[in-house]
Amino acid sequence: MHINNNYLNLKDSYLFATVANKVAAYKEANPDKKIIRLDIGDVTLPLCQAVVDAMKAASDEMGKKETFRGYAPYQGYDFIQNAVAGYYKNRQVDLDLTEIFVSDGAKSDIGNILDIFSADNQVLIPDPVYPVYVDTNIMAGRRTSYLDAKEENGFLPVPGPDTKGDIIYICSPNNPTGAVYNKIQLKAWVDFAVKNNAVILFDAAYEAFIDDAELPKSIYEIEGAKQCAIEFGSLSKTAGFTGTRCGYTIVPHELVSEGVSLNSLWLRRQSTKFNGSPYIIQRGAEAVFSPEGQRQTKENIAYYKENARLISQALDKMGIWYTGGQHSPYIWFKCPNNLGSWEFFDLLLDKAQLTGTPGEGFGANGKGFFRLTGFGSKEDVQEAVKRLAGIMSMM
Ligand code: PLP
């Protein structure tokens, strides 16, 4: 027996454990001080009523012989596929139901999709970004190179004359930077991919935070994208499904390489290794797309966005450059006085009892940057921005 040695090439993920350890140590030494956590990467508001009602009704159905359901269809029940197709239709994107694959969330699909690509592809991953892209490729032994996201390009890299890649990851709105691609920038990537027979893996996990009709929520709003892009959607941040688990992946029929349909490969992969998302969850997910569910989930998103706005407003007042804060729950800024991310973390915790996430956890270009999130309570955010302003005024 030999293990998959690629796993030995993974960097240990110290980031969240280190944050937790530092917070625990501080609390123990200062039990009377209240720490405000702006490093929260998970939702905090409960599921909306429309979702809860739908899941309760579905649970009752599962308890009766006449309405009990066993294995779900591999791609999801047609009621949820129809709901997703209707959601895309609102943005003038037409999807065939067989292009929609309902799953237990975006993270697993993002990792699993690599099954359908040869190991010798050149992979292009933005830096900084959601660490799952890098780690899943390292596990599979692929060659990865990085797309530099920096202050100079607003953390939104576009292809240049030397850009090379067969599999390209794009995350918009981005985690951790909150930066959002516009249509012109995304079109540059679509044109690059079509020209070079590359595939774009488009992570739309935060699309629901976009409220500007000019900004694309889906890559399929860009002409030509169906020939070159797979899109990952998630109800985690959209509707508080981080613990409930439901997402969907779109693989268009037009996406064909070497005469083979990627949709048929993904169906083969899913029907072999995945047995469908639970009926009760799919009914809850369907409710997210109902008019009532949309209204209720948008209220929750508006709450997080207001928090993000309060934080960015405070940074504006302090004259600090940042990305995000508007069509995203994330705010990403440069640490003051050229402090390192961890130095700034320690300072904020020690002097203001505030936490954020050091940028270097998301890639080398995150060094010296810091991520705050709007996932906490409004009261905490209001207090946090006062403390932040206090610290910055001393620097
Ligand atoms: N994609 C991005 C960019 C994320 O930040 C996250 C979660 O934080 C995910 C995907 C995971 O989504 P899911 O909960 O649907 O697996």
User: What is the C-alpha to C-alpha distance for residues 113 and 266, in angstroms, rounded to an integer?
Assistant: 7
Write down the mean pLDDT value for the chain. 96
Answer whether residue 286 shows pLDDT above 80.
yes
User: Both tokens of residue 85?
Assistant: 């197709």
Strands, E assignment, 149-197: 167-171
Ligand 1, closest atom to CA 242? 14
- The CATH number of residue 142's host domain is 3.40.640.10
Q: Ligand 1 mean position to 349 CA, how many Å?
A: 27
Q: Which domain holds residue 250?
A: 69-290
Answer whether residue 395 shows pLDDT above 90.
no
For residue 174, the Cα-to-chain-centroid distance in whole angstroms is 7
pLDDT in tens, 200-259: 999 999 999 999 999 999 999 999 999 999 999 999 999 999 999 999 999 999 999 999
Domain shared by 273 and 301, yes or no: no
Confidence (pTM): 0.97
Domain shared by 337 and 286, yes or no: no
Q: Ligand 1 mean position to 91 CA, how many Å?
A: 22
Answer whether residue 14 shows pLDDT above 90.
no
pLDDT in tens, 170-192: 999 999 999 999 999 999 999 99
Query: Partners of 168 in the beta sheet?
Result: 124, 200
Q: List the residue whose alpha carbon is closest to atom 9 of ligand 1.
A: 107
Boundary-marking domain end, from 290, 312, 332: 290
Q: Please tell me whether the peptide bond between 46 and the residue prior to it is cis, using omega within 30 degrees of 0.
A: no
Q: Ligand 1 mean position to 280 CA, how many Å?
A: 21
C-alpha dihedral over 20, 24, 25, 27, to 10 degrees?
A: 140
For residue 62, tell me if it sits in a domain. Answer: no
Strands, E assignment, 138-205: 143-148, 167-171, 199-203
Boundary-marking domain end, from 242, 262, 290: 290
Q: Please tell me whether the peptide bond between 358 and the residue prior to it is cis, using omega within 30 degrees of 0.
A: no
Q: Which of 291, 283, 297, 243 is closest to 48 using CA atoms?
A: 297
Instruction: Indicate the top mutation candidate among 42, 134, 237, 332 to test ligand 1's pocket, ranked by most ligand atoms within 8 A of CB.
Output: 237
- The CATH number of residue 32's host domain is 3.90.1150.10
Ligand 1, closest atom to CA 105? 15
User: Both tokens of residue 130?
Assistant: 């959601």
Domain shared by 126 and 236, yes or no: yes
Domain shared by 172 and 284, yes or no: yes
pLDDT value at position 308?
98
Domain shared by 174 and 207, yes or no: yes
Domain shared by 307 and 230, yes or no: no
Residue 64: pLDDT band by 50, 70, 90 thresholds?
very high
For residue 118, tell me if it sits in a domain. Answer: yes
* 3-state secondary structure (DSSP) of residue 369: strand
pLDDT value at position 394?
86
pLDDT value at position 143?
83
For residue 61, tell me if it sits in a domain. Answer: no
Boundary-marking domain end, from 235, 258, 290: 290
C-alpha dihedral over 39, 106, 158, 207, to 10 degrees?
A: -70
Q: Which of 315, 322, 326, 325 is closest to 391 using CA atoms?
A: 315
Residue 84: pLDDT band by 50, 70, 90 thresholds?
very high
Answer whether residue 13 shows pLDDT above 80.
no
- Which protein residues are within 6 Å of ligand 1, measured from CB? 41, 105-107, 130, 171, 175, 203, 205, 234, 236, 242, 247
pLDDT in tens, 247-272: 999 999 999 999 999 999 999 999 99
Q: Ligand 1 mean position to 1 CA, how many Å?
A: 34
Average pLDDT value for residue range 34-55: 96
Is the C-alpha dihedral spanning 185, 187, 191, 193 positive or negative? positive
Do the strands 36-37 and 167-171 form a parallel or antiparallel pair, or are they unpaired? unpaired
User: What is the C-alpha to C-alpha distance for residues 337 and 171, in angstroms, rounded to an integer?
Assistant: 29
Average pLDDT value for residue range 103-125: 97
User: What is the C-alpha to C-alpha distance for residues 385 and 388, in angstroms, rounded to an integer?
Assistant: 5
Distances (CA, A) of 72 to 90, 145, 278: 27, 38, 7
pLDDT value at position 359?
96
pLDDT in tens, 371-386: 999 999 999 999 999 9
